[in-house]
Amino acid sequence: MMTDFETKRRQTALRLGLKSEALPRHAAIIMDGNGRWALQRGLPRFRGHEQGGKTVETIAQYCVDIGLEYLSLYSFSMQNWKRPKEEIDFLMYLYAIYLEGIRPMLMKNNVRLIHLGTLDNLPQHVIDALEETKRLTAGNTGMALCLALNYGGREEIVQAVRTIADKCRRNLLQPEQIDEECISNHLYTAGCLDPDLVIRTSGELRISNFLLWQISYAEFYVTETLWPDFSPADMDKALMAFAARARRFGDIQPKPS
């Protein structure tokens, strides 16, 4: 008997003329271009962030509909604290509003929210909204929405190494037990599938410290579309491009998806 994920992926594959096994199970998106979207329209940057938040809801719902098991969104990096205080303050206000406002959609669609990142330096009202949304959705068994908020890939690995070293110091773990699985189990994404597909909007060709460990064998798709304009049709283009790739995982022969 097919799972709900498999049923939706099969329907999506039929619509796009693909094989369901050629579709990703985990897509990670570097959402870029909010500021440029606003500036191109003669608007203040915060209007771009507002529109970008609306796009998040649209794409999250669409990813539920097409059968993704995980959707990871790069929302705010640890390096983004360098931005002007006024912009950061508005972003934090938006995060709290978004985390509260998205709850009905998450519950209706059986979506679980996972936080990737640290709570350090986040305002208390954002922490409260984040923790409550995580609590409310913890029992959901559908798609996992992984929100990278106050996240850094290098920092994530450093934290994992520190935790592993501490366990070794307390004789809870032996050095010879440290392998790839051990490290993966100490990252923010512990228990999650690694991304199959990484999408970056706005045409930039860099990873920006996002999921450095997890995307080792992911396929990359870059679009010139700015995040506030990213639509389900753009997502379909990314799926089509992904399905056309021959995924070898270091071998000379393609591996089945």
Closest CA to 206 of 195, 198, 197: 198
Going by C-beta distance under 8 Å and a sequence separation of 6 or more, which residues neighbour residue 59? 29, 71, 230, 232, 235
Give yes or no: 109 in active site.
no
Give yes or no: 32 in active site.
yes
Q: How far apart are CA 141 and CA 5, in angstroms?
A: 11
Residue 29: pLDDT over 70: yes
Q: Which residue has the higher pLDDT, 175 or 250?
A: 175
Catalytic residue chosen out of the listed positions 80, 109, 110, 140: 80
Residue 224: pLDDT over 60: yes
The angle that helices 232-243 and 4-16 make with each other, rounded to 10 degrees, is: 90
* The Cα angle at residue 109 between residues 106 and 114, in degrees rounded to 5: 45
Q: What does pLDDT average to over the chain?
A: 95
| pLDDT tens per residue across span 155-192 | 999 999 999 999 999 999 999 999 999 999 999 999 99
Catalytic residue chosen out of the listed positions 32, 34, 150, 196: 32
Q: How far apart are CA 142 and CA 64, in angstroms?
A: 8
The angle that helices 85-101 and 124-137 make with each other, rounded to 10 degrees, is: 20
Going by C-beta distance under 8 Å and a sequence separation of 6 or more, which residues neighbour residue 231? 58
Q: Per the structure block, which two tokens stand in for 61?
A: 């719902």
Annotate 91-111 with three-state secondary structure: HHHHHHHHHHHCHHHHHHCCC
- Mean pLDDT to the nearest integer, 90-98: 95
pTM for this predicted structure: 0.94
Residue 250: pLDDT over 80: no
What is residue 248's predicted lDDT score, i.e. its pLDDT? 60
* Structure confidence at residue 1 as a pLDDT band (50, 70, 90): confident
Cβ burial, residue 118 (10 Å; 0-12/13-18/19+): middle
What is residue 26's predicted lDDT score, i.e. its pLDDT? 98
Going by DSSP bridges, is the β-strand pair 219-222/70-77 parallel, antiparallel, or unpaired? unpaired
Residue 41: pLDDT over 70: yes
| pLDDT tens per residue across span 101-146 | 999 999 999 999 999 999 999 999 999 999 999 999 999 999 999 9
Q: How far apart are CA 177 and CA 76, in angstroms?
A: 33
